[in-house]
Structure 1
Amino acid sequence: MKRVYVEEQWCLGCHLCEYNCAFANSGLDNMAKALKDKEIRPRIHIEDGEDIHFAVSCRHCQDAICMKSCIAGAISKKDGVVCIDKNKCVGCYTCVLVCPYGALRPSPEGPMEKCELCVNNSCGEPACVAGCPNRAIIFAEKEGA
């Protein structure tokens, strides 16, 4: 299955992936209207270290502990993509607590949200990948991953 991978040595720390992600998940067709003067809500987050920047997002684990721990049965896997059914999520934060990657967080509406590889958007590839100017974020299938 294809997943999002980050080549940390190429990441500039520009945060454009976050803006592209927030726009792709906004449901709007104009980036300025979607993001201007608003708190952006990306599902990928760049962590900045002294000499390195790296992206944090859902790894779509083979044996997803968030899915196993969801008391409402709101997290499932569709074609290898770990997804959240916002109508089932009760906002208990169990998935947030168990995710070893820090990939989940509450949405402004209450249910949890996370990267779903832009499967609900018409991007073709994840928006973070398409918007990375240095190609530090890739969407690929890797052996042993």
Structure 2
Amino acid sequence: LMSSSTEIRTILIYYVINYILLFSLFWRNRKYLNSHASSMSTQTFEKSKSFERILIFQGISPWIFTGVPYIISLILATFDLAIPGFNTLILYMFVSVAGINPILFVFMAPKNIKVLASYFVKMKNVILCKKVVSLKIGTLKSRPTGH
């Protein structure tokens, strides 16, 4: 078993190396995009920017979902404090990172955001009985209920 300080150093080295690589590749990509912006269409440049934003969130999500809770766990262990089930929650969060990144990709793409927003507005209008909403399967007509 590793000592607590060795474990902390190992984890910090892991995160530092990963984030140095992440941000150096991010800056190289941004530098390349800016140097070739004149030869790109506006649409291509915007897609590249949105893809860049998605990649940043995908790079930061493992730190948010695993690194921060793990450091909290180590701090709690240092002070002999225990939260029942917290380490199990951390384990679940480690496992969930693989599923979070594709979800981020789906929900952060600009086109998907517009489609999802439109869907939620339509569903809200149906629920609140506000107006007629056309769906692919037919037409739902909202009508006020008489009390």
Structure label with greater radius of gyration:
2
What band does the TM-score fall into relative to the shorter chain?
under 0.3
- Considering Cα pairs closer than 8 Å and 6+ residues apart, tell me whether 1 or 2 has the greater RCO: 1
Name whichever structure is richer in helix by fraction.
Answer: 2
TM-score (ref. length: structure 1): 0.22
TM-score (ref. length: structure 2): 0.22
Name whichever structure is richer in strand by fraction.
Answer: 1
